[in-house]
Amino acid sequence: MRFEEPVLLYGAGREAISTAAFLKAHQPDLKLYVTVDSGQADIPGTEQIAADDLGMAIRDHRFGLIVKSPGVSRYKPVFDIARHSGIPVTSNLNLWGATYRHGRTVIAITGTKGKSTTATLTHLMLTRSGIDAGLAGNVGVAPLDIADRHPVVIFELSSYQTADMNFLPDIAAVTNLYPEHVDWHGSVERYYADKLHLINRDGSFPVALGAGAKGNALVAHAVRDHRRLLRELTTEELAAIDKVAIGSRLKGSHNVDNARLAAQIALAAGASLEGVVAGIAAFVPLPHRLEEHQFGGTIFVNDSISTTPEATKAALAAYKGFRIALIAGGHEREQDYTELASLLAGYGVTTLACLPVTGARLASAAIAAAPHITVLAEPDLASAMHTLSGYSKQFDAIILSPGAPSYNQFKNFEERGVRFVGLAQAIFG
C-alpha cells in the first residue's frame, strides 16, 4: 500500500496515533496533516490544520485521503465536502482490513452494552484452548497495532466503527440493542442502522446473538436469514458455563449471558469446552465496570463505563439485596430515564444523587415514581460524595453507574471512575 498524496488524520487520540505510526512505518516520506475539533493535536510528524480551515483545505485538495477517528461523526458536513471533492474517507479499522485481513479469521462483536466483556471472554476462551488469537478495537489495541501478529483476531467494535466497516467478518455477534450515541449518529434510527451494519451485509458469515438481541425485530431483519445463526449451546455446555460463572468474577446475570454468547462464538471458532470454562475462570473485570472497592465499611462500585440507562439497570441488578446509593447523570445524549426511575425502589435504591445534566430528568422521574427515595441534586461528583457521607445510615453500597457519558465534566469515563474511587477513599476511608 502506497499513498501518492498527503493524508489527513481527523482526530488525535489512540487510533490516530496508531494510524500515524502505521503510515510512517510503511511510507516514511508521507506528508501527514492532523485536525481536531477540540483539545491537542500533538501527534509527532504531523502538521496541524485548524478545524475552521478544513473545508477550504479539502476543496484545495491539500491531501488525497482522510483517516477519521471513531469519535468524529461521519455525518459532519465537512465529509459531504470531501465526498463532493472526490477525497475518500477511511478509518484505522478499514486500513487494517485492506492490509491484513486476507488469510485471517475475523470475529467482530458489537452491541450497545456487553461487547467489551464478551470480546474479552471470547479471547480468553480461544487462548485457553491453545488458539493464537488477538484482541483489538475498543479493548485490546487499535486495529493497526495488532497488524498481522495473530491468525485469529477478535474486534470489539462500537457503532462508530461498524457504521463504515468495509470488510466482512468470519463470525459476527450482537450482544443487545438500545438507544445510544444519538448525538453522533443524528437519530436513534440511524444509530440502529449503523450498529447493525456489522451483520446487515451480503455474505454468508454466521451470526451469534446475545440474550438482549434475540427477539429484537430490527436485529432479526438485519440477520436476514435465521440459518446464519450459530447453533445454540447444548445442555451440557450450558451447565458447564453456568457452574464456572457462579464461582468466577463475573457479576450479575447479564454477565452470565455475555459468557454464554462468548462461548457460542469461541466454540464456533474452534475452542474446546475445557478452554471455554478456563477462560471464564480467568476473567478479570474490566476497569470501571462493576469495579468493587471497600472503605470504612461501605462498598463502592465504580461502574463509570455505564453510559446508558440499560447499563445502570444491569449494575443495580448485580447488587440485589443491598441498600444502594446511586450516583447517576452526565453528558446529554437524549437518554430516557423513565423506566429506570420506575425500577429504582425495586433494585434497593434508597438514595439517589443526580449529576448534571441528565440527572435533572432522572431526579424528576424518580420523585414521581418513588417519592420515598432521597433524591439529591448535586453540581458535581465531589459534592455528591460529600453529601452522601451524611446519609451513610441509608445504604450499604454507593454505586457510580451514571447511565450517561462523562464529557460534560470529565475527559472520559476513566477519569470519572478514578475520581470516584479517590473521593471514596478520601471521604469514607
Q: Does the annotation place 117 within a ligand binding site?
A: yes
Largest CA distance in the chain: 67
Q: Does the annotation place 422 within a ligand binding site?
A: no
- By CB atoms closer than 10 A (0-12, 13-18, 19+), residue 217 is exposed
Q: Map grid coordinates 458455563 to a residue.
A: 241
Q: Does the annotation place 113 within a ligand binding site?
A: yes
Q: Does the annotation place 111 within a ligand binding site?
A: yes
> Quick one: how far is CA 374 from the chain centroid?
31
Residue-wise burial string across 340-361, b where 16 or more C-beta atoms lie within 10 A, e elsewhere: bbebbeebbbbbbbbbbebbeb
CA distance 200 to 207: 10
For residue 71 the three cell numbers come to 469519535
Q: Does the annotation place 31 within a ligand binding site?
A: no
Residue 350 near residue 326 (C-beta atoms within 8 A): no
Q: Does the annotation place 76 within a ligand binding site?
A: no
For residue 199 the three cell numbers come to 451483520
Q: Does the annotation place 306 within a ligand binding site?
A: no
Strands (E) in 76-144, as ranges, are 89-90, 105-110, 133-137
Q: Residue positions in the annotated binding site for ATP?
A: 111-117
Q: Residue positions in the annotated binding site?
A: 111-117
